[in-house]
Structure 1
Amino acid sequence: MARFDEDRPVSVPAKDRSKFAQDLAAIARRTGQEATLGYVLRYLLFAPSFHYVAGRRLQEAVAGIPLVGGVLRRILWFLHAMCFSSDISPTAELGPGIYLPHPFGIVIGDGAVIGRNVSIYQNVTIGQRNDTNPAMGRVEDGAYIGAGAVILGGVTVGANAIVGANAVVLNDVPPGATVVGNPARIVSQS
């Protein structure tokens, strides 16, 4: 296991890293930094994106405590939601390396699945289309969801796809595609 050193980046094999360590590495990578102790402390003190993800991982950790874990997780979830004005359901799956640079106004419903290394910006909604169709969306690895985007129903946003700001996604997005508009339409595909 690697140790933190002020001048040396943390290097832990991916298979051994916790989701939290992978989240931290993703934030450092996206900001062009190395995950040194100094970097971690700066983010621990001053970055809402780090606070949000760390709080979510804490919720996941306490859920495993016998007898009181479920209740404790719900209490932490409520406090987290009030602090950030975001509602990411405790049953939503968030993969490691998630990047939420502005974690405010985000709503992700029950059963949604978010893959690895996904970027989600402020005011994004991932939810069900209506009460008769409770299916939730799936966002695959490496996708980018722009500010204000809405993903409704059991749609899949493919790996490395880009959903533009304020797009309303009602149909599947192919891997590597860029979608914009209301309703979202493909404007480029790699």
Structure 2
Amino acid sequence: MFSRLREDIASIIERDPAARNAWEVLTCYPGLHAIILHRAAGWCWRHQLKWFGRFIAYLTRILTGIEIHPGATIGRRVFIDHGFGVVIGETADVGDDCTIYQGVTLGGTSLSKGAKRHPTLGAGVIIGAGAQVLGGFTVGAAAKIGSNAVVVKEVPPGATAVGNPARIVLKQTHTAQENAARLFAAYGVSPDGDDPLSKALHGLIDNAAAQELQISKILAALKCAGIGCETMAGLDKFDPASLNRMVE
């Protein structure tokens, strides 16, 4: 028990720059308190002391603002940062080294008792503040869920999910330096931005700018050949740089 507690404290100090020392983490971090009390509630639940398990979970919610069903499975070194408003359902499975911020719900969309109703998080998943992960699917290892995203379908390992409903950005190849920067992304926010809609719009704008340049060269060649071509009014007002800034 004490070895796991030391692990938990060390992982919090590693991931939270505001954590100054082990004593402060042990006494002032409600996420850690919720995890410790959940282990007691889970023991009661697994040994058919279900009312005691639910009662410990109820007290935990009062003390920490974090609600974890005693039937949920929580891995090692899980960090619930700030934590107020976090809800983790009965059949949820949270893998090792996951980070969950305040206001997150790992919820279920099925009313079938005994079924897998809540999500499974692979190792190293980061879920940003206010995100809702709803359903009995899997969020792959090292995936990131952006703040306030609403995820209702499986997320591949290493991918990022952002928006409502969540859009999935598949993992791309990065240099060693970029991988080090992406190893832990606070609140699920990547350094280079991962909104797929924004990236698609940037691509379309750049493509339109390239076509505009190509058309200008064709018109210039036609003019040199003595072939007149009427220019439509307003074409000179196309400004890809300003459009790119609008969708950043």
Q: TM-score, normalised by structure 2?
A: 0.60
In the alignment, which of 157, 171, 176 is matched to residue 139 of structure 2? 157
Of structures 1 and 2, the one with the larger relative CO (CA 8 A, separation 6+) is: 1
| Partner of residue 236, structure 2 | none
How has the CA–CA distance of structure 1 residues 176 and 64 changed in structure 2, closer, same or farther, with 3 Å as cutoff? closer
In the alignment, which of 52, 57, 65 is matched to residue 77 of structure 1? 57
How has the CA–CA distance of structure 1 residues 85 and 135 changed in structure 2, closer, same or farther, with 3 Å as cutoff? same
Distance in 1 separating the partners of 2:77 and 2:92: 16
SS at match of 2:83: coil
How has the CA–CA distance of structure 1 residues 158 and 134 changed in structure 2, closer, same or farther, with 3 Å as cutoff? closer
* CA RMSD across the alignment: 2.8
| Partner of residue 11, structure 1 | none
Distance in 2 separating the partners of 1:45 and 1:114: 24
Partner AA of 2:87 in structure 1: V
SS at match of 1:171: coil
SS at match of 1:179: strand
Deviations 1:35-90 (A, max 9, x none): xxx932222222223322232234345x28978x5444333211111222322110
Partner AA of 2:29 in structure 1: A
In the alignment, which of 90, 106, 123 is matched to residue 126 of structure 1? 106
| Partner of residue 53, structure 1 | 35
Distance in 2 separating the partners of 1:144 and 1:64: 27
The Cα shift of 1:32 comes to 5.7
Distance in 2 separating the partners of 1:114 and 1:159: 11
Distance in 2 separating the partners of 1:90 and 1:131: 18
1:140-179 matched pairs, under 5 angstroms = 140-179=122-161
Deviations 1:133-153 (A, max 9, x none): 762210000000011111111
Point out the structure with the larger helix share: 2
Deviations 1:95-148 (A, max 9, x none): 011011111101111111000000001111111113257622100000000111
Residue ranges of structure 2 left out of the alignment (5+ in a row): 173-248
Match status 1:96 vs 2:76: yes
SS at match of 2:21: helix
Residue ranges of structure 1 left out of the alignment (5+ in a row): 1-15
Partner AA of 2:8 in structure 1: D
The answer to whether the 8 Å contact 2:42/2:71 transfers is no
Size of the aligned set, in residue pairs, is 170
| Partner of residue 6, structure 2 | 21
Point out the structure with the larger strand share: 1
What's the % identity of the aligned pairs? 36
In the alignment, which of 72, 85, 90 is matched to residue 110 of structure 1? 90
Q: TM-score, normalised by structure 1?
A: 0.77
Mean alpha-carbon deviation: is it higher for 111-120 or for 38-47?
38-47
In the alignment, which of 12, 21, 30 is matched to residue 39 of structure 1? 21
Give the number of the structure whose alpha-carbon radius of gyration is greater. 2
